[in-house]
Amino acid sequence: MTTSTSDVLTAKYESLDATLGTLWGAGPEIGHLAAIIGLVAAIVLSVLGHVGAATRRRSWVENSGSFAVLQLITLVVAFVLLVHAFLKDDYSVVYVVSNSNALLPWYYKVSAVWGAHEGSFLLWTLIMAGWTFAVAMIGRRLPYQIYGRVLGTLGLLNTGFLLFLLQTSNPFLRLVPNVPTVGADLNPLLQDFGLIVHPPLLYAGYVGFSVAFAFGVAGLISGRLDATWARWTRPWTNVAWAFLTVGITLGSWWAYYELGWGGWWFWDPVENASFMPWLAGTALIHSLAVTEKRSAFRSWTVLLTILTFSLCLLGAFIVRSGVLTSVHAFAVDPERGVFLLVLLGVTVGGSLALYAIRVPAIRGRIAYMGLSRELFLLINNALFVVAVAVVLVGTLYPLAYEAVTGGDKISVGPPYFNRLFVPLMGLLAVFLALVPVARWKRTPIRLFRQVCWLLLASMLVGAVFFVVAIMSDRVLNIGSIVGVVIAVTLALWLLLSHSVDFIQRKGARPLGYLGMLLAHIGFAVGAVGVATTSVFSHETEVRLSPGDTVELNARQYHFVSVTTVNGPNYIAQRAKFDVGGISLYPEKRNYLARDSVMTEAGIEPGFFQDLYIALGEPLPDGSWGVRIQEKVLVRWVWCGGLLVCFGGLLAVMDGRYRRLALRRDGLATAVKAA
Amino acid sequence: MKRAVFFAPFIGFIALVAILYAGFHLNDPSHLPSALVGQRFPGFELPELTSGKVLGHQTLLGEIRLVNVWATWCPTCLHEHTTLMDIRRATGLSIVGINYRDDGEKARRWLSLYGDPYDFTIVDANGDLGVELGVYGAPETFIVDADGIIRFRHVGDVNDGNWNREFLPILDSLTDG
């Protein structure tokens, strides 16, 4: 019975497919057309929004929302048609044939859509349209001049992105008449769950900051940068920031298990490209808090909206222009790079010019005293901006060097970043621990007394930890232990001061407050993970044959066997290791279409430590190079990232934003009625 | 006056763009004369990578040498490694490594995996010698003559192009003189 039902369904699907056959066949052309209509919608949106707001044509602005809808619909159509081309193995499409293969499992065919440049940029414009749609729907209550300018700015941005897509990166181009029969396959590194979810989340974050940027531009033009403006901007910024946080965390996790080195952060330019907007965005969400609650930092906050989004665009330029593979390659085929550079220059230069002209009229002066919450948030901002500068210099210097010397390469590696970045984060932790006691305007000194006791308690625990670490028979350098002890002490202090504040707090504990606690504690958890895993982890690289046993940190690793396993599109050598009752299966995979070899690590995850085995090269005598690692507290790094993300989301859900919006609405109707 | 402050970000951005643009048309900074050229190689007392023996400045004397700053965290160094192996094989020139701010275990593994072009490798784990040499990234390569005087400094990777264009003429002049 069931089989006949499914037969009927299959038959129905096939007949539907046949009916639509001609239409499906023209899928890429329709997709291309849809993207062009999307571009037109974006242009109309920009005109209706900006001109409508400037010339006080309320109806123009009110109707601009429908073009946000049209833009989203057309780009969804374009995207779905590209997905369909991948699922149907339409190798007449250049982008499909270079990034897919008939043997690829269906879910990787779908994620292959954003596995390379053209498709991932289509996804970028789609997400941009999604954010624009969300603003158009949720922002209806905004004053129409603000609404129009925000939508108009978003429309202008997507106009630029869509022009870039259609001009330099069209994923719908055909390869006719000689259609290849075999696809080149998706880069095996990207055939993984991590890649299915990582780019969409990251893009949601990147593009999400365009909303904060659009609010900044709208605020500058309309001359409105007050507490209300900050209250409109805050939830959008928090959501984008939370997306970026989880995107970066997932990227780090993916690098850890997929690259086979057991590292979780490499300070490479692609990582930095997403980290810089995150750092600036973190400064922004804190600065927005001051602007909302105290109307202070106005000009600074709006500058941060510009800076954050500029760093998003810079990240897109670094990753998407080809400048990373080689500056030389970039110079040979500069079309994409130059287009992105112009886009970057116009957006950043234009918005900074607008800032310079408009901000003197808008900023306000609010007094606050030393040791106030304002001061703490100012320090937070300063630290994050310095951190951005550190990462920016370390990322751009090698690129600039290569460009200037005409091809000489240089690496600025972890030593540079760690030496500058780690002390900054240590300093940040000190101020974070003091956050719960700080009050707006002025903090009474007595409030600091309790937090000093908590510091003393944490230092006591830190001292005990130090003695235990020294006494344990491990050969470690004192400097690294001191580093971990400092990190643990500060993290504990932060945890204590936040917990005590939670318990002692009188009255309501709104979601915004809980989100702040959670995000700060996430920072502490992550910091402990980072410090501990980089100092206390064990690692060995040995040559082993099946049957051999090796000891690492008093644990026996028994190499049982190697077997050949057939995957859907690869052949793997799968090893079996027994470690104290559990088995790990690291693999060496040969992906057939590209003939490329990938390492699949065998990992036994744990709250306190991961056991991590990666196969190296097989040697002629039947033995294998094997890298075995015990990563202490490595999961804490990502747990911290997720807590930070949840904290951000919790703050967005704070009902106060909606209540305030409603109250203002009530006020407006009351005024109208009167 | 006050208003001018708000133009600072815009002006800063324009300046950045101008510097970057000009940078593409300026000379190679790796050609800029280094303050170190003509100076004695800075003194040091640091362990050797494989033997652990403490080496001093005098170990560099007696022969023209390339001194190459490298590390395992530096992808460019891996790229450069093949070139160094080729140079060593083709010319027999003495190459000394400075393993800069790195992990000794990883560095030894690297040399056994990719080959060892170095006569010996000085371990500069804390980067002190690197500071003396003004190292701000890796790789960097110095030509040091038989008297321990730095004759040439190159920032960035050694490749076929700059080897023939820059290194060889200086090495030739040193051997002729």
Give bridge partners of residue B121 from the DSSP assignment: B97
Distance of residue B10 Cα from the nearest chain A Cα, in angstroms: 5
Please classify residue A332 by burial: count the beta carbons closer than 10 Å to its beta carbon, then call 0-12 exposed, 13-18 middle and 19+ buried: exposed
Which residue is it, tokens 């900044």?
A: A216
In contact, A157 and A172? CB cutoff 8 Å? no
Q: Searching chain B, which residue's CA lies closest to the CA of residue A310?
A: B13
In contact, A79 and A101? CB cutoff 8 Å? no
Classified as helix, coil or strand, A333 is coil
Instruction: Please state, for a pLDDT cut of 90, what percent of chain A lies above it.
Output: 45
Confidence of residue A1 (pLDDT cuts 50, 70, 90): very low
Residue type, position A639, single letter = C
**Residue B63 belongs to some domain of the structure:** yes
> What pLDDT score was predicted for residue A183?
79
Tell me whether residues A409 and B79 touch, CB distance under 8 A.
yes
Q: Searching chain B, which residue's CA lies closest to the CA of residue A358?
A: B6
Q: Searching chain A, which residue's CA lies closest to the CA of residue B135?
A: A412
Distance of residue A216 Cα from the nearest chain B Cα, in angstroms: 15
Alpha carbon A42 to chain centroid, angstroms: 25
The reply to whether A341 touches chain B by the CB within 8 Å rule is no
- Of the ranges A257-261, A392-396, A597-601, which one carries the lowest mean pLDDT score? A257-261
Instruction: Please state, for a pLDDT cut of 70, what percent of chain A lies above it.
Output: 89
Is the pLDDT confidence value at A153 over 90?
Answer: yes
Classified as helix, coil or strand, B109 is helix
- Rounded CA gap, A339 and A316, in Å? 12
Provide the number of structural domains found in chain B.
1
Distance of residue B146 Cα from the nearest chain A Cα, in angstroms: 27
Q: What are the angstrom distances between the C-alpha of A150 and each of A8, A228, A239?
A: 50, 15, 17
Across the interface, of A345, A349, A403, the residue whose CB is closest to B24 is: A403
B/e letters for A85-107, b = 16+ CB within 10 Å, e = fewer, are bbeebbbbbbbbbbbbbebbeee
The reply to whether B6 touches chain A by the CB within 8 Å rule is yes
Tell me whether residues A404 and B13 touch, CB distance under 8 A.
no
Tell me whether residues B29 and A401 touch, CB distance under 8 A.
yes
Residues of A in contact with B128 (CB under 8 A): none
Distance of residue B97 Cα from the nearest chain A Cα, in angstroms: 17
Q: What is the CATH number of the domain that holds B89?
A: 3.40.30.10
Please classify residue A212 by burial: count the beta carbons closer than 10 Å to its beta carbon, then call 0-12 exposed, 13-18 middle and 19+ buried: buried
pLDDT tens-digit map of A379-408: 999 999 999 999 998 888 888 887 777 667
**Residue A525 belongs to some domain of the structure:** no
Q: What is the DSSP string of B140-163?
A: EEEEE-TTSBEEEEEES---HHHI
**Residue B91 belongs to some domain of the structure:** yes
Q: Searching chain B, which residue's CA lies closest to the CA of residue A306?
A: B9
* Mean pLDDT computed over A529-541: 88
Distance of residue B36 Cα from the nearest chain A Cα, in angstroms: 19
**Residue A617 belongs to some domain of the structure:** yes
- Of A87-96, A358-367, A384-393, A429-438, highest mean pLDDT: A384-393
Full domain range(s) for residue B84: 31-176
Distance of residue A589 Cα from the nearest chain B Cα, in angstroms: 21
* Mean pLDDT computed over A420-446: 86
Residues of A in contact with B75 (CB under 8 A): 411
Is the pLDDT confidence value at A83 over 90?
Answer: yes
> What pLDDT score was predicted for residue A2?
46
Tell me whether residues B6 and A414 touch, CB distance under 8 A.
no
pLDDT tens-digit map of B47-78: 999 998 999 888 999 899 999 999 988 878 88
**Residue B116 belongs to some domain of the structure:** yes
Which residue is it, tokens 């129409």?
A: A144
Residues of A in contact with B155 (CB under 8 A): 401, 408, 410
Which helix (H) or strand (E) covers residue A610, if one does? strand A609-618
Confidence of residue A670 (pLDDT cuts 50, 70, 90): very low
Is the pLDDT confidence value at A467 over 50?
Answer: yes
Interface of A with B in 406-425 (CB under 8 A): 406-416
Q: Searching chain B, which residue's CA lies closest to the CA of residue A263?
A: B73
Residue type, position A54, single letter = A
**Residue B69 belongs to some domain of the structure:** yes
**Residue A599 belongs to some domain of the structure:** yes
* Mean pLDDT computed over A293-313: 90
- Rounded CA gap, A262 and A502, in Å? 37
Q: Which residues contact A388 (CB under 8 A, 6 or more apart)?
A: A276, A279, A280, A283, A307, A311
The reply to whether B3 touches chain A by the CB within 8 Å rule is yes
Confidence of residue A4 (pLDDT cuts 50, 70, 90): low
> What pLDDT score was predicted for residue A134?
95
- Rounded CA gap, A419 and A422, in Å? 6
Provide the number of structural domains found in chain A.
1
The reply to whether A398 touches chain B by the CB within 8 Å rule is yes
Which residue is it, tokens 């009050």?
A: A439
**Residue B23 belongs to some domain of the structure:** no
- Which stretches within A20-143 are classed as H helix? 21-25, 27-54, 58-87, 94-99, 106-111, 117-138
The reply to whether A401 touches chain B by the CB within 8 Å rule is yes
Is the pLDDT confidence value at A182 over 60?
Answer: yes
Classified as helix, coil or strand, A556 is strand
Predicted ipTM? 0.71
- Rounded CA gap, A354 and A218, in Å? 11
Distance of residue B74 Cα from the nearest chain A Cα, in angstroms: 6
> What pLDDT score was predicted for residue A388?
95
- Of the ranges A110-119, A464-473, A555-564, which one carries the lowest mean pLDDT score? A464-473
**Residue B14 belongs to some domain of the structure:** no
**Residue A432 belongs to some domain of the structure:** no
> What pLDDT score was predicted for residue B54?
92
**Residue A626 belongs to some domain of the structure:** yes
In contact, A382 and A352? CB cutoff 8 Å? no
Across the interface, of A306, A400, A408, the residue whose CB is closest to B162 is: A408
Confidence of residue A654 (pLDDT cuts 50, 70, 90): confident
Q: Quick one: tokens of A124?
A: 């970028």
The reply to whether A342 touches chain B by the CB within 8 Å rule is no
Across the interface, of A406, A408, A411, the residue whose CB is closest to B138 is: A411
**Residue A108 belongs to some domain of the structure:** no
Across the interface, of B23, B74, B154, the residue whose CB is closest to A413 is: B74
Please classify residue B2 by burial: count the beta carbons closer than 10 Å to its beta carbon, then call 0-12 exposed, 13-18 middle and 19+ buried: exposed
**Mean pLDDT, consecutive 10-residue segments, chain B of 177 residues?**
78 80 54 71 92 89 93 84 92 93 87 91 89 83 92 88 90 82
- Of the ranges A164-168, A389-393, A399-403, A416-420, which one carries the lowest mean pLDDT score? A399-403
Across the interface, of B6, B139, B159, the residue whose CB is closest to A299 is: B6
Residue type, position A303, single letter = L
Across the interface, of B13, B29, B162, the residue whose CB is closest to A352 is: B13
Is the pLDDT confidence value at A62 over 70?
Answer: yes
The reply to whether A338 touches chain B by the CB within 8 Å rule is no
pLDDT tens-digit map of A322-362: 676 655 555 556 677 788 888 989 999 999 999 999 888 77
Distance of residue B52 Cα from the nearest chain A Cα, in angstroms: 17
Residues of B in contact with A413 (CB under 8 A): 71, 73-74, 137-138
pLDDT tens-digit map of A189-243: 788 888 788 889 999 999 999 999 999 999 999 888 888 899 889 999 999 999 9
Tell me whether residues A404 and B23 touch, CB distance under 8 A.
yes
- Rounded CA gap, A534 and B40, in Å? 37
- Rounded CA gap, A303 and B56, in Å? 53
Which helix (H) or strand (E) covers residue A564, if one does? strand A555-566
The radius of gyration computed from the CA coordinates of chain A, to the nearest angstrom, equals 27
Tell me whether residues A409 and B101 touch, CB distance under 8 A.
no
In contact, A259 and A600? CB cutoff 8 Å? no
Q: What are the angstrom distances between the C-alpha of A656 and each of A136, A215, A587, A664?
A: 21, 20, 52, 12
Do β-strands A596-600 and A602-604 pair in parallel, antiparallel, or remain unpaired?
unpaired
Q: What are the angstrom distances between the C-alpha of A627 and each of A368, A599, A614, A618, B66?
A: 56, 11, 5, 12, 33
Classified as helix, coil or strand, B88 is helix
- Rounded CA gap, B14 and B4, in Å? 15
Give bridge partners of residue A630 from the DSSP assignment: A538, A611
Full domain range(s) for residue A563: 538-634
> What pLDDT score was predicted for residue B2?
65
The reply to whether A356 touches chain B by the CB within 8 Å rule is yes
Phi, psi of A654 (to 5 degrees): -55, 120
